[in-house]
Structures are given as structure tokens and as C-alpha cells.
Amino acid sequence: MTPRSEKNNKPSSSNQALINNRITSLNKDASKSILNSPTIQSQQEKKQQEPCNSQTILKELYFAISNLQKKRTPEFNEIEIVCQKLKNAENILLLEGSQTELSKQCDRLRSQLPHLFNKLQQYLEYQEALGNKIDIETIHTLCLGLSALANPLNDSFLSQEQCAKYQEKLTHISTNFCTALIKPLQHGSLHSGKLLNILNWYSRGMKKDLLNRHDKAIKQIFQLTLTRLQNWANGSADADWLTSKQLSKCMVQLNTMIHLRVINIENNAEGKSNP
């Protein structure tokens, strides 16, 4: 059998043109298919929607606080929901200044925050008058929300003027929490993870001048916490939950205690006897 010549294996010029056109068409279809794939589209949509979503979240938070202001006596769960929304928006608050519209939304939200503080203090004073005690779970939720206003990666979300104006009110609110924290801390019944999250607000608040670092009730909480940390170091039962992340939170609180001098280490009798 005579083999085909190399010449016969080559397509004619007209056929080659058809092949080239077909390849180009297939490449275009493939590119279009990739661009229209759900994954690519979702990534593109996400990039387009992120600024919009951030602004929407801040708008919802703004209106949630506005609704609190309008009500003479809002339900406490409404205040808790606002604090949950505030915590969820923490990373968005860090982006202030990166987008003009986002900065405008942050300014609007900032102007509403005093109404949240007022309603929170109003509710706590009302419950105190009735002889009711706020529970740890609620304190935890409120502290998570408030801590979003003092993220260490940025300046205080409140203006300097607001910090000076509302420090006393925020300190009063936080010392109200202290009253409910003392006994559980003394008895070792306060959940360790919740304790560290609550302390996070006190630590951040003092560093950003949102709280009075000389307040006796706040100092007492840190002093009691120091004993708790010592128990963890000695291998107490509730130290089993400690992870590297939780341990780093412990280090943050120790740093706060020492550098802000909220605990009296130098006068500790045991420390003096072991120089």
C-alpha cells in the first residue's frame, strides 16, 4: 500500500481558513462560558456588591438606633439586637475613609450612638430600681457591641469630643455590669470565654478613653480576673478550654492590667516575698 504523500496530508488553503475560523469561534465561546460561569459571576457580583452591602448594613444599624430613640421605653431585646448589629459591622467601621459614601454613613451612625447610650443607661437604671439584675449572657452581648467602637486597629469610632462627653455615661453603664460580674468571678462560675470577651470591652474602652481607667469597680474586676488567670496557670479545671487564641486574649488583659495600672501588683505581699 502506497503511503500518502506529505503534501496530501495538508488541508487546502480554503479548508485551513475554515479551520482557523472554527478555532477562533470555539475560543470565544469558551471564554464566554468561563466568564458566565456561576463562580466567576459570583466573584464579580461580590466585588460590585461589597461597597453596597457595607453601606446597607450601616444604614440598617442607623435606623435601628433611630427606632430606639423614638420609643419612650424600648424593649431590651431591641437594644441587644442593636449591639449585635454593631458587633457584626465592626470590620466595616474599620474601612471608614476608604470610600466617600461609606464615610458619610459612618458619620450618620456616629451621630446616633449617643441615643443608644442613653437608652441603655435608662433601661439599666429602671431595672435597678425594680431590683432586677442583668444576666451574664446579656452583659456579654452588650460588651461585644460596645467593643466594636474601640477596635485597636483604628482610632476610637467616637470623635474626641464624644469620648470626653460620654465617658462618664459609658463608665456608669460598665460599672453596672461589674456589680453582676463580681460574685460569678469570685466563685469561678463565670464562663472563661465570656469573661475574656467582656474584659475586651473594658480593656479597649480604657485604652481609647471611652471608660475611666481609675474607676474602682472596673479595677476590682481586673483584680479578680488576675486571680482567675493564676488559677488557670495552676491547672484549674476550666483551663481545658484554653487555645492559642484564648491565651493571646489573656496576654492582652495582662498587658492592660500592667500598663494602665488597673491592678496593684507592687503591693502584692507574695510578690514582695519573691523578688
pLDDT digits (tens, 9 = 90+) for 117-175: 999 998 888 888 888 888 899 999 999 999 999 998 888 899 999 999 999 999 999 99
Domain ranges, residue 222: 51-263
Tell me, yes or no, whether 44 lies in a domain: no
In a domain, 271, yes or no: no
Report the C-alpha gap between 50 and 59 in whole angstroms. 14
Amino acid at position 207, single letter: K
The answer to whether residues 223 and 185 touch, using CB atoms and an 8 Å cutoff, is no
What pLDDT score was predicted for residue 45? 44
Residue 4 DSSP one-character state = P
**116 within domain boundaries:** yes
The model carries a pTM of 0.72
Domain-located, residue 43: no
Asked if residue 204 is part of any domain, the answer here is yes
Q: Which residues of the chain have pLDDT under 70?
A: 1-52, 230-248, 250-251, 255, 259-260, 264-275
CA atoms in the 13 A half-sphere facing the CB of 81: 13
Burial class (CB in 10 A: 0-12, 13-18, 19+), 216: exposed
Q: Tell me how far apart the alpha carbons of residues 211 and 264 are, in angstroms, rounded to a whole number.
A: 19
Q: Residue 2: what pLDDT?
A: 45
> What radius of gyration do the chain's Cα atoms show?
30
What whole-number distance in Å separates Cα of residue 260 and Cα of residue 211? 12
Give residue for cell 479578680.
224
Q: Is 180 among the domain residues?
A: yes
Q: Is residue 159 part of a domain?
A: yes
Tell me what pLDDT residue 41 has.
47
The span from the CA of 13 to the CA of 211, in Å, is 83
Total number of domains constituting the chain: 1
Determine, yes or no, domain membership for 223. Answer: yes
Percent of residues in the chain assigned helix, strand, coil, to nearest 5: 75, 0, 25
